[in-house]
Amino acid sequence: MQGFALGSKIHRVPPKDSDLLDKEAAKQVEHVGAVDILVGIPSFNSARTISHVVQAVSAGLMKHFPESRSVIVNSDGGSTDGTREVVASTEYTNMERLMVRHRLHPVHKIITPYHGIPGKGSAFRTIFKIAQLLGAKACAVVDSDLRSITPEWVELLVKPILNEGYDYTTPLYRRHKYDGTITNSIVYPVTRALYGKRVRQPIGGDFGFSQALAERYLSKDVWETNVARYGIDIWMTTTALAEGFKVCQTYLGAKIHDAKDPGADLAGMLMQVVSSVFDLMETYYSVWATVKGSEPVPYFGFEYSVGLEPIVVNTQRMVDNFRQAVRDLSPIWGDVLEDDTLTSVRDIAGTDPHRFPDEIWASVVYDFAIAYHRRVMTPDHLLRSLTPLYLGRTAAFVLDTAEAGSDEVEERIEALACAYEAGKERFVERWQVNEKGQGR
């Protein structure tokens, strides 16, 4: 399980592991020497928001780890808006507000461009490398555009690694019921069914990890693939789960960002995320094929209610898109979906009120995973044809939960995850059929 081809490789000369840092960054690393905690902030044109993130991280390190040697690493993708200058000039000096004893060590900062394919994964690779060079015992990464980050996020992400022996901390957020629909309808239930762990936010974006796991990530031959562009979050989570690292979750409260209508402009994101999930199935088939059921993952933090920004969803546009696709794409879906599933999808398109049952949706996703595995058509063509089905399912979810509170919505997502688990045995059987496609 050493290699993993995620999408098409770009024909270029990749940076060697030893070339990830330029001379200035190498000097900064040498100056810092060694640390207990590293917090990475990948960025690209984040000048408007990154100062708040740097201040929150600095305050968190000062307040919760005053005796630890710490560093903040800004791994930047060539920003032209002054992002790196903002990071360099941002300091948190109001120690008295934190009510902590005098800090033994300063919080260092390393600001460096990353090298390789442009993308979040390449930024993370540089962070992993610096963590390795500095011997960091515990690490975390947080997004540069967070509006809701607090100093407590640092403690919640780092402490399970530093003090409790965990290798990987995933976030638990309180999100609007229509935020994160790709996670809720595909990524979470698929990851749970395949690997048997109920990691609720496998692509949350803010994680904690151990030095051992950082070194494992660095050892992988994925940095010239789509992992370097956009597949890093699900790749990190799946690698940790599939390779037996100790995983936990931590409650961070609200994640406030620029959420979108789940029916608008998400086709590209859907293709990126789902292709990453499907490619990881190829890598770790020997692991997930024998997993049955799922079990909870330990979590830390105090769960509480928070105010959330509203999301307006245009369900009619989504339903219209879905119904038009049923008329136009049925011949293509005939090469992807099992006969019973395709019949059910056609029936859904002709029914009011619009409903899309859990077991049918799970079958759709599994059928597309099989088609992706067998390469029945190009990945882009295949996943573009999934988009209107996703819109149809999401519209049904929105209509079904219009009056539901957060707890009831979570119960609906739990029911969907159980539908995926119920369909897994059949999925495994079909995966094992040879590439000629017998047994569809």
pLDDT at 102 over 60: no
User: Do 268 and 412 belong to one domain?
Assistant: no
User: Do 122 and 78 belong to one domain?
Assistant: yes
Q: What is the pLDDT of residues 220-237, one digit of tens each?
A: 999 998 888 889 999 999
Specify the residue for token string 């595995």.
373
User: Please, what is the Cα angle at 202 between 200 and 206, to 5 degrees?
Assistant: 105
In percent, the amount of the chain with pLDDT more than 90 equals 75
User: Do 51 and 190 belong to one domain?
Assistant: yes
**Is 437 a domain residue?**
no
Q: What is the pLDDT of residues 125-161, one digit of tens each?
A: 999 999 999 999 999 999 999 988 999 999 999 999 9
**Is 309 a domain residue?**
no
Residue type, 403: E
Query: Which pair of structure tokens corresponds to residue 39?
Result: 């917090």
Find the CATH number of the domain harbouring 96. Answer: 3.90.550.10
**Is 438 a domain residue?**
no
User: Do 60 and 198 belong to one domain?
Assistant: yes
Query: Which pair of structure tokens corresponds to residue 126?
Result: 């540089």
**Is 7 a domain residue?**
no
End-to-end Cα distance, the chain: 28
User: Please, what is the Cα angle at 300 between 294 and 302, to 5 degrees?
Assistant: 120
Where in the sequence is the domain holding 364, given as residue range(s)? Answer: 315-431
How confident is the model at residue 26, as a pLDDT?
A: 93
| Burial class of residue 105, CB neighbours in 10 A (0-12, 13-18, 19+) | middle
Average pLDDT, stretch 204-209?
94
Q: How confident is the model at residue 115 (pLDDT cuts 50, 70, 90)?
A: confident
Looking from the CA of 334 toward its CB, the CA atoms found within 13 Å total 6
**Which of 234, 267, 300 is at the close of a domain?**
300
pLDDT at 345 over 90: yes
User: Do 32 and 93 belong to one domain?
Assistant: yes
pLDDT at 340 over 90: yes
What string of DSSP letters covers 82-148?
SHHHHHHH-----HHHHT-PPPSS-EEEEEEE--SSSSHHHHHHHHHHHHHHHT-SEEEE--TT-SS
Q: How confident is the model at residue 95 (pLDDT cuts 50, 70, 90)?
A: low
User: Do 139 and 272 belong to one domain?
Assistant: yes
User: Do 127 and 85 belong to one domain?
Assistant: yes
User: Do 79 and 195 belong to one domain?
Assistant: yes
Cα distance between residue 33 and residue 31, in whole Å: 5
**Is 243 a domain residue?**
yes
pLDDT at 356 over 50: yes
For residue 96, count other CB atoms closer than 10 A to its CB.
7
User: Do 358 and 249 belong to one domain?
Assistant: no
User: Do 275 and 333 belong to one domain?
Assistant: no
96 or 399: which leads in pLDDT: 399
User: Do 250 and 329 belong to one domain?
Assistant: no
Specify the residue for token string 């995973």.
369
pTM of the predicted protein model: 0.90
